[in-house]
Amino acid sequence: MVDPSLEATKKYYDDFASWYENQRRPNDASGYHALIDDLEIAALEPFARGKEVLECGCGTGLLLERISGFASRAEGCDLSPGMLEKARARGLSVREASVTALPYEDASFDVACSFKVLAHVEEIERALAEMARVVRPGGYVLAELYNGWSFRALAKKLGPAGRISQTRDESAVYTRFDSPNAWRGMLPPSLELEGVRGVRIVTAAAPLLRVPVLGSALRALEHGLMATPAAYFAGFAVLVAKKR
């Protein structure tokens, strides 16, 4: 039986695939999306260097390509064939799959990570359980959530939906914001929450990153604060959980 919500999400991201990298401009080091990607990689690398890593929801492979530079093995999966076409063009090892039903054996990886994805998964507990299943004991799950305690959550609630293509906007896909008091309870019993890394803590608006001096100061602050208690107020919260 086809899950209507999964099919709707797949169509959303297939449509988004043509615009995705135009928005992110990976060669633009001063841009907002470049900062977000840099912070996500900074959160992941200490746990993933020299390890076997699965990225769940790898999209076009922008992060997975960087992960492959420090992991001993890097694989990815994504629901969207349109996104995966671009990832394969990068020479990456990827498979079409939902994070709620990963096509990998138990204990296949040292690390499973997911960025910009789980906020669009209704069955998030099932997704986190699947990520834990494919990780070996002693390994890590890094799961990025949209933080309900953040300024970004308020702005998304009050502001208009952003466009993702000529025919769709962000309202076309399910989106959730989870608050810190719910995070630990979302994890399966096999995972122990060890910490949180914050992404976008002090950058109130993306254009500020292009202001001389201020932009550099904001980037330095974001990196300096990401592993502090300020992470609990970040727009994006990366849960770092160890498998027992």
- Check residue 1 and give its pLDDT: 46
Split at pLDDT 50, 70, 90, the class of 168 is: low
148 Cβ neighbours under 8 A, 6+ residues apart: 177, 178, 179, 180, 182
Q: How far is CA 185 from CA 104, 120, 145, 167, 201, in A?
A: 25, 18, 13, 37, 23
Q: Could you tell me the pTM of the whole model? A: 0.89
Strands (E), the chain: 52-56, 73-78, 93-96, 109-114, 135-146, 191-199, 236-243
Percent of the chain topping pLDDT 70: 84
| Residue of 238 and 173 predicted with greater confidence | 238
Q: What is the CATH number of the domain that holds 124?
A: 3.40.50.150
Tokens of 8: 């709707």
Average the pLDDT over 106-114 and give the result: 98
- Check residue 227 and give its pLDDT: 98
In the chain, the number of structural domains is 1
User: Does pLDDT of 4 surpass 60?
Assistant: no
Max Cα distance, the chain (Å): 55
Mind listing the pLDDT tens digit for each residue in 179-222?
999 999 999 999 999 999 999 999 998 999 999 999 999 999 99
Task: Report the run of H or E that residue 133 belongs to, with start and end.
Answer: helix 124-133
Of 8, 176, 30, 166, whose CA–CA distance to 98 is shortest?
8
First to last CA, the chain: 34
| Residue of 168 and 239 predicted with greater confidence | 239
Tokens of 227: 């592993």
The mean of the pLDDT values for the chain is 90
Residue range of the domain that includes 230: 4-243
- Please write down the HEC assignment for all residues of 24-57: HCCCCCCCHHHHHHHHHHHHHHHHHCCCEEEEEC
Of 191, 202, 200, 195, whose CA–CA distance to 180 is shortest?
195
C-alpha 114 chain-centroid distance = 4
Mind listing the pLDDT tens digit for each residue in 45-94?
999 999 999 999 999 999 999 999 999 999 999 999 999 999 999 999 99
